[in-house]
Amino acid sequence: MKIVAILAAHNEADHLGAVLEGLNPFNLYRVLVVDDGSTDATSAVARAAGAEVLRLEPGLGGGKGQALRAAITHLRQDDFDFYLFLDADGQHAPGDLQHFLDYLAVHPDADFLIGSRLLDRAKIPPKRWRTNALGSWTLGRIAGVKWEDTQSGYRLIRRAVVNRLQLRSEGFAIEMEMAMKAADWKLHWAHIPIQAIYLPGPPRSHFRGVMDTWLIAWESLKC
């Protein structure tokens, strides 16, 4: 099974190296870091860890959505089995990938695996939990799918599924767009327990909670 990891990174030189080191034991087919206009040593750290780098110049303004779309376009012609999406900022534990692989070993027909922080609720800041719960409930009602954690960016998705998606979202809304657009297909979905990691200091995410949730829900209705 060939897995390609995609990590969107903006000024993550301090955290990226540990994330990439944590992926090393899995012997992934490719590891691609999308350097989204960083002004620090993000690209250098990625290359030193043996990852490929796709550099986006500063000022493009598309955020995580643009970075992931660029990565998918860059990889589209390659032949592999799954895309692995995870964050570069240390808020996803690379070792949790083993939980995804364990599920696939028992359910080889799985198509769309989403990391769920549900069991680690005590570690999630209350405001983030409420926003996530609202988004998951709202989008689940629209799509007719029961989701636990639609805002989780830790995902293992079959390449054939991702390549059918016509993604257009910018920012963090792209994760919900992926799920919404694939919801009508007859897929094998699963939630995989992962750790909830929130690093000390001010919030690093630019996700706008309720506003982005409703915007992507509205866009999904028009698709």
Q: Where are the domains of the chain?
A: 3-222
Q: How far apart are CA 96 and CA 154, in angstroms?
A: 9
Report which of residues 222 and 59 the model is more confident about: 59
pLDDT band for 196, please (50, 70, 90 cuts). confident
Q: At residue 154, does pLDDT exceed 80?
A: yes
Q: How far apart are CA 3 and CA 113, in angstroms?
A: 13
Q: What is residue 110's predicted lDDT score, i.e. its pLDDT?
A: 97
Q: What is residue 211's predicted lDDT score, i.e. its pLDDT?
A: 59
Q: 187: Cβ–Cβ under 8 A, 6 or more apart, which residues?
A: 111, 112, 161
Q: At residue 128, does pLDDT exceed 80?
A: no
Q: Give the tens place of pLDDT for each residue, 38-61.
A: 999 999 999 999 999 999 988 666
10: closest CA among 172, 162, 157?
A: 172
The HSE-up count of residue 138 (CA atoms within 13 Å, CB side) is 21
Range name among 30-39, 69-78, 138-147, 188-197 with the lowest pLDDT average: 138-147
Q: At residue 137, does pLDDT exceed 80?
A: no
The span from the first CA to the last CA of the chain, in angstroms, equals 32
Q: What is residue 73's predicted lDDT score, i.e. its pLDDT?
A: 95
Q: What is residue 174's predicted lDDT score, i.e. its pLDDT?
A: 84
In CATH terms, 3-222 corresponds, of 3.40.190.10, 3.90.550.10, 3.40.50.2000, 3.40.50.2300, to 3.90.550.10
Encoded tokens for 5:
């990891």
Q: What is residue 163's predicted lDDT score, i.e. its pLDDT?
A: 93
The reported pTM is 0.83
pLDDT band for 151, please (50, 70, 90 cuts). confident
CA distances from 166 to 26, 45, 179, 181, 216 (A): 29, 31, 12, 8, 14
Q: Give the tens place of pLDDT for each residue, 65-97.
A: 899 999 999 999 999 999 999 999 998 999 999
